[in-house]
Amino acid sequence: MSTSLARLAERFTALLGPDGVITDPVRLRTYECDGLTNHRATPGVVVLPESAEQVAAVVRACAAEGVPYVARGSGTGLSGGALPRTDGVLIVTARMRRVLEIDIPNQRAVVEPGVINLDVTRAVRADGYYFAPDPSSQQICSVGGNVAENSGGAHCLKYGFTAHHVLACEIVTPDGEITELTADGPGYDLLGVFVGAEGTLGITTKITVRLTRVPETVQTLLAAFDSIESGGTAVSAIIGAGVVPAAIEMMDALSIEAAEAAVSCGYPPGAGAVLIVELDGPDAEVAHQFAEVERLCRQAGAFEIRIAADDAARALIWRGRKSAFAAVGRISPAYLVQDGVIPRTALPRVLGRIDALSAESGVRVANVFHAGDGNLHPLVLFDDAEPGAAERAEEVSGAILDLCIEHGGSITGEHGVGVDKSRYMPRMFTDTDLDTMQMVRCGFDPAGLCNPGKVFPTPRLCGEVPGVRKGVHPLVEQGKADLF
Amino acid sequence: MTAPIDSLAKVCGDVRAAGPEDGVLGAVPRLVAAPATVAEAAEVMRAAAELGLAVVPRGMETRLDWGLPPERCDLLVDTARLDRIVEHEAGDLVVKAEAGVRLGDLAAALAEHGQRLALDSPLPGATVGGTVATGSAGPLRLLYGSPRDLVIGLTIVRADGRIARSGGKVVKNVAGYDLGRLFAGSWGTLGLIVEATFRLHPMPAAAAYVSTVVPDPAAAHEAVQSVLHSPVAPSAVECAATPDGIAVGALLEGVPDGVTARSGQVNDLFGGGARVEQEPPAWWGGYPDGTTLIEITAPPTALAHADWLTGSATWSAAGRGLLGLPGDLTPERAAETLEGLRAALAPHKGGAVVRYAPEPVRDALDVWGPVPALSLMRRVKDQFDPERRLSPGRFVGGI
Amino acid sequence: MGAPEELPKLLNDCVHCGFCLPTCPTYVLWGEEMDSPRGRIHLMQQHQEGAPLSDAMVGHFDACLGCMACVTSCPSGVQYNRLIEMTRAEVEREHPRSAADRAIREMIFSLFPYPRRLRALRGPLRLYQRTGLDRLVRRSGVLERLSPSLAAMERLAPPLGKAPRLPGFVAARGERRATVGMLTGCVQREFFPGVNAATARVLAMEGCDVVIPKSQGCCGALSLHSGREDEARAFARRTIAAFERVEVVVVNAAGCGSSMKEYADLLADEPAWAGRAEALSARTRDLAEYLVELGPRAERRPLPVTVAYHDACHLAHAQGVRAQPRALLAGIPELTVREITDPGVCCGSAGTYNLLQPEAAAQLGDRKAANVRDTGAEVLVAANPGCSMQIADALGRQSGGKGVPMAVAHTAEVLDASLRGLGPEVFRARTS
């Protein structure tokens, strides 16, 4: 441990007590990665603060020593956003998990960052409310992590992302000050840029979330198609008809096979693709739209449609979809989960190209996706025991991202850029775009100590302001131009 | 020696000397440039940087007299010629439009495909750029949010004349910082907005406005709460002071049968006897009378104690209120009213901002009120506009 | 059990998704990665790669309750139950423990698995409780200072009544539907004799001939779940031999049932026993599981009482028995079943855990007791003697003699009361 880290560890022990600081190497190593295991770094020190004041004190101490720090919630991220620094401090918010206030009349709740996403819903369900962002990891991911990643989920098609459900955040700035960012106060919407900044602008210590009324009715159907193409036709038809479902999910034959192997979800045999469509809202609306969706699915060639009659049947329909990622482990020794977005209308073209990529390279790709918003989750399968297989899989996975960019999409719809995809950022954005984003970072964190090395492939030197001249303009100096 | 007007004319086809009618709250620019393309806008901004000109953007002037006057205003960049709808892929429910496109024109183009941008446009003529820059929204904010929630991609020209994009043209996208949210409501102080990409919604097949009149804010609060906590899923819930009392109304959108059924439910929640109309009631979603406009932000329950909800003031269940002060109010009285309002809103964690006011009133007031995180805002501003040339002084804390 | 070469493969199943974290009692308490299943698997991986079994590492393995909630929650099918059992055996083999720690462990393992020794303890305990000396000692805190583990043992002992002895055979009432063997257990038999009596009666009233072999002893659950494999195997062989002649072995203690269902794995490497072990595992049923399979025949009489049903970890997570006890309770007229918040989180009993990790166990007990209280139920129903003792203790501590008292009963006792037409007073009489 470096001397500055050793000094910090001592300081932290004084601040947080011995229970709040981890320095034992064996223990530290358990924090070496988040949900993405192919990037690992053992943190220099781990702290487990229990209050905003403690977080602020830790950040101030880091700032004084010039030591980088990274915040971590439940450690479920899939882009290495919480990858620690070996020369830095990992600030774990898992002990900041109190629901501080529930205000049903104002449809909001105030929680600490370590509170688990689903626990917010659990706390307000009896009042007929829920917290809308529902990432697949909602039973474990923290609200603080959701804020950092601007998490979505299967239902964000209709309800939006975390950014739309956070009204205010108390944050600790990289200066170690506690301040509040709000969505509708006077001044810049700093909250808007803070949410989704992947922890690079500060650490949130208190979050005011919007609560959403539980819909009167939820209706779910499962439609089986011969092919992904006909499933895609159904999706276009549903959206084209002006229906905004709560969720539209699609799985291809390979991912259905995996899900069957893992959880015996009993999807219609022989399906080349299944579509899960969920509608929610007032009874009368849902009844009408549901009939329309059913009709459109049949028209697009669905050979079997199942309608969930109750919660248990709905859970059964969703079980296959929700287990799909982990289930792929049953049909392949190893796999990469990709997360790319394309405009919905480009789905048939891009899926065709992915097929071709897979055929050319001999690398199998299972497709699971949020069809409603064009968010693809191709699962690239490989055998980690086979030399060179991981590299080939990585190549196919990267080529899929290129396809997304080529079709006007994005390199990440919900997993974030983190450390994993920062190298793809220049393919999606110009140097100026990235430089401009980093102006925000320079405003918040000129020293670049707050979760450095994430999102951006190369840091911006905050002292330099490209393109803007200082002092007297040469044209003025030469007498060729005039100043007002 | 080249005059600035000539330098600008080299890069932009429409540059002229400004007249008094081009003034922004009394600050009269020297020049007006109206670039026709994003590239031209970038050249204009680059030239302005080289010449050290202070720049104020202008759309259709619907809200140009909002906020504070710029400390300096050398060049007015008029977005009127940036008026193309760049891309509308109906199947993707996404539209990209240049800053000068008027919301009304955009709405007409989208309606042909049965789609809409779910943003109210209470002031006719408002442009895409101006709406984003001021973060304006109306009653639909309750369900759909404001520009920050609907902009999925933004193109700006920076102070140094470089073009920068963030977001993209897909709704689900977490690559990089979301500058769309940062620029929404930034009042031209961070850069020139030249293009915005929005997510769209299908045009509802049917709509109904269900309204009633109640005697006071407490009763209005009860009515609003009953709708908010019911499963009828309104698109908007509005209140407005009227001579007969406080009008309370809910907008329901959806399929015809659904809207009929839900209208009935809201009527029951209102205790029966409510009016059900296809078109908005006269008081719906407008700005109150008066020469000073105050915008209030507070959680929904603040309505119960909204003693200010008089005259032609309005309240939106999304947590926004609008209050107009009459022109005959002295600056001192206006300042007192504002401070009283802020004191009353403080327990609700609410605030009040003066949107526009006659100069003497404006001078007597604290237009913005307390601004949390102001120092962070200043630091962000310093990064984007280190020379303070973009709408200087127009915004909070002298930004 | 489990060849060591299997370990890397089992470890590799974990994809580090973290779904196990919120279900893990120690993670819920402390919020530390090393005290979550994901973190412990990471530690096992480190050990596998050559890191020595340090005190720190062993401390995190010891802190695991073995409640198996993580196994239920894992989407990738990680067999944490096998991983932690292998690891515990490794710890017992490789890691030297402190003298005090060793002494406590020896005492526990030379007492609990032996009903006769437990019985010997009953007399002094009853006297101790009757004289009121227990309250005095408890208030003095003297035991807490001497040893938290001893203090925990003292607190957990339930109020003891007269222990009826069960005969070797109880005949079916009416037409016989089956012949079942019944495991009487160690702690169940000595501390909750009423539960065994109720179990036998319920089975008989439902038409079962009940065989209660005298030759049975401890099933080995406590040893198995603490890494004492050789000891566990010896107990297992004896239990197999005792029950070889019945069609079904009915078990009313969740921990015992789950370990008997694991005999097949435990004795897999012993050719002489592997087949017999597998057969016994296949014949083992939890009482509730069996009664639902059998279907109700005896008349249920109304029992107007509100109960909260507690999922014992070794029933819900280890055996997947969740619906059956609830169905049995719901089948009783006028009885209301309430759900406890966070049903999947362990109460802190976990076999010997409340004896070896008393502080953590007490915190978990307090959480569980608070959630139980929140249901507003009059009776807590649990199907494991360890849980009953643990939660009763926590409820008692929590009410501090002032709160609303609450009775604790086994599913068998509730059914018994309904079948015999006893009123709810039978539970109210024994509140904690």
pLDDT digits (tens, 9 = 90+) for C80-107: 999 998 998 899 888 888 877 777 777 6
Structural domain containing residue B136 = 85-202
Residue C36 lies in a domain: yes
Quick one: pLDDT band at residue C404, thresholds 50, 70, 90?
low
Helix, strand or coil, per DSSP, at residue A59: helix
Residue B114 lies in a domain: yes
Structural domain containing residue A410 = 332-416
Q: Kindly give the interhelix angle for C229-242 and C271-283, rounded to the nearest 10 degrees.
A: 70
Where is the domain boundary, C94, C117, C144? C94
Give A245→chain C minimum CA distance, Å: 27
Are both B241 and B173 inside the same structural domain? no
Are both A106 and A202 inside the same structural domain? yes
Where is the domain boundary, A60, A92, A124? A92
Report the pLDDT value the prediction gives residue A247, as an integer from 0 to 100: 94
d(CA B382, CA A440): 10
CB-closest option in A149, A181, A439 to B373? A181
Where is the domain boundary, A213, A242, A266? A213
Are both A225 and A249 inside the same structural domain? yes
pLDDT tens by residue, C131-147: 555 555 555 554 554 45
8 A C-beta contact, residue C240 and residue C263: yes
Residues with Cβ within 8 Å of residue C73, at least 6 apart in sequence: A139, C19, C20, C22, C23, C344
8 A C-beta contact, residue C361 and residue C342: no
The Cβ of residue A435 has, within 10 Å, a number of other Cβ atoms equal to 21
Are both B95 and B193 inside the same structural domain? yes
Residue A484 lies in a domain: no
Where is the domain boundary, C38, C65, C94? C94
Are both B94 and B182 inside the same structural domain? yes
User: Any alpha helices (H) in chain B, and if so which ranges?
Assistant: 4-11, 38-51, 103-111, 128-134, 141-144, 147-150, 179-183, 217-228, 256-269, 331-345, 359-364, 374-384
Quick one: pLDDT band at residue C129, thresholds 50, 70, 90?
low
Are both A226 and A326 inside the same structural domain? yes
Are both A110 and A128 inside the same structural domain? yes
pLDDT tens by residue, C224-234: 877 788 889 99
Name the nearest CA neighbour of C222 among C184, C187, C174: C187
Number of domains in chain B: 4
Average pLDDT, chain B: 96
Distance of CA B286 to the CA centre of its chain: 13
Residue C236 lies in a domain: no
The Cβ of residue C187 has, within 10 Å, a number of other Cβ atoms equal to 25
Number of domains in chain A: 4
**Chain C CB contacts of A32 below 8 Å:** 42
Residue B381 lies in a domain: no
Are both B189 and B221 inside the same structural domain? no
Chains A vs C: touching, with 3+ CB pairs under 8 Å? yes
Q: Do B231 and A216 touch (CB under 8 A)?
A: yes
B121-125 average pLDDT score: 88
Q: What's the N-to-C CA distance of chain C in angstroms?
A: 41
Are both A282 and A362 inside the same structural domain? no
Quick one: pLDDT band at residue C161, thresholds 50, 70, 90?
low
Does the structure show a pLDDT above 90 at C6? no
CB-closest option in C17, C33, C57 to A35? C17
Are both B198 and B226 inside the same structural domain? no
Are both A25 and A126 inside the same structural domain? no
Give the residue on B whose Cα is nearest the Cα of A181: B373
Helix, strand or coil, per DSSP, at residue A90: strand
pTM (2 decimals)? 0.91
Angle CA A241–A244–A250, to nearest 5: 95
Does the structure show a pLDDT above 90 at C162? no
Name the nearest CA neighbour of A400 among A379, A414, A370, A382: A379
Give A469→chain B minimum CA distance, Å: 8
**Chain C CB contacts of A141 below 8 Å:** 18
Lowest mean per-residue pLDDT among A216-225, A363-372, B135-144, C346-355 = C346-355
Are both A344 and A267 inside the same structural domain? no
Quick one: pLDDT band at residue C148, thresholds 50, 70, 90?
low
Are both B35 and B52 inside the same structural domain? yes
Residue A464, judged by CB atoms within 10 A of its CB (0-12, 13-18, 19+), counts as exposed
Are both B247 and B176 inside the same structural domain? no
C398-412 average pLDDT score: 73
Helix, strand or coil, per DSSP, at residue B348: helix
What are the counts of helices (DSSP H) followed by strands (DSSP E) for chain A?
A: 16, 19
Where is the domain boundary, A303, A330, A357? A330
Report the neighbours of A using a cutoff of 3 or more CB pairs below 8 angstroms: B, C
Residue C90 lies in a domain: yes
Report the pLDDT value the prediction gives residue C77, as an integer from 0 to 100: 85
- CATH label of the domain that carries residue C13: 1.10.1060.10
Name residue C298's amino acid. A
Within an 8 Å CB–CB cutoff, is residue B96 touching chain A?
A: no
Which of B92, B376, B384 best tests the A interface by mutation, with the highest count of A CBs <10 A? B376
Are both A326 and A338 inside the same structural domain? no
Lowest mean per-residue pLDDT among B146-150, B355-359, C99-103 = C99-103
Residue A443 lies in a domain: no
State phi, psi for B184 to the nearest 5 degrees. Answer: -65, 115
Within an 8 Å CB–CB cutoff, is residue A329 touching chain C?
A: yes
**Chain A CB contacts of B203 below 8 Å:** 242
Residue A291 lies in a domain: yes
**Chain C CB contacts of A114 below 8 Å:** 31
Residue A439 lies in a domain: no
Within an 8 Å CB–CB cutoff, is residue A325 touching chain C?
A: yes
Quick one: pLDDT band at residue C127, thresholds 50, 70, 90?
low
d(CA B12, CA B37): 9
- CATH label of the domain that carries residue C331: 3.40.50
H or E element that contains A147: helix A143-149
Per-residue pLDDT in tens (0 to 9) along chain A, 484 residues: 788 999 999 999 999 999 999 999 999 999 999 999 989 999 999 999 999 999 999 999 999 999 999 999 999 999 999 999 999 999 999 999 999 999 999 999 999 999 999 999 999 999 999 999 999 899 999 999 999 999 998 889 999 999 999 999 999 999 999 999 999 889 999 999 999 999 999 999 999 999 999 999 999 999 999 999 899 999 999 998 999 999 999 999 999 998 888 888 899 999 999 999 999 999 989 999 999 999 999 999 999 999 998 988 998 899 888 888 878 877 888 889 999 999 999 988 999 999 999 999 999 999 999 999 999 999 999 998 899 999 999 999 999 999 999 999 999 999 999 999 999 999 999 999 999 999 999 999 999 999 999 999 988 888 644 444 344 444 444 444 443 3
Report the pLDDT value the prediction gives residue C139, as an integer from 0 to 100: 54
Residue B372 lies in a domain: no
Q: In what order do the strands lie in the sheet with A203-210?
A: A99-103, A108-111, A203-210, A166-172, A178-182
Does the structure show a pLDDT above 80 at C180? yes
H or E element that contains A30: none
Percent with pLDDT over 90 in chain C: 46
Residue A458 lies in a domain: no
Does the structure show a pLDDT above 90 at C125? no
Are both B98 and B175 inside the same structural domain? yes
The Cβ of residue A180 has, within 10 Å, a number of other Cβ atoms equal to 16
Report the pLDDT value the prediction gives residue B265, as an integer from 0 to 100: 97
Where is the domain boundary, C79, C94, C109? C94
Report the pLDDT value the prediction gives residue A474, as an integer from 0 to 100: 44
Residue B375 lies in a domain: no
Are both B211 and B172 inside the same structural domain? no
Report the pLDDT value the prediction gives residue C166, as an integer from 0 to 100: 82
Find the chain C residues whose C-beta atoms sit closer than 8 A to any C-beta of A.
13, 15-19, 21-22, 27, 30-34, 38-39, 42-43, 46, 51, 54, 56-57, 60, 73, 75-77
- CATH label of the domain that carries residue A87: 3.30.43.10
Which of B1, B116, B174, B322 best tests the A interface by mutation, with the highest count of A CBs <10 A? B174
Number of domains in chain C: 2
B283 vs A481: which has the higher pLDDT? B283
Within an 8 Å CB–CB cutoff, is residue A327 touching chain C?
A: yes
Give A260→chain C minimum CA distance, Å: 13
Residue C66 lies in a domain: yes
Are both B52 and B91 inside the same structural domain? no
Average pLDDT, chain C: 84
C393-407 average pLDDT score: 70
Report the neighbours of C using a cutoff of 3 or more CB pairs below 8 angstroms: A
- Residue A35 is classified by DSSP as S
Structural domain containing residue C403 = 300-428
Token pair for C216 = 């049975």
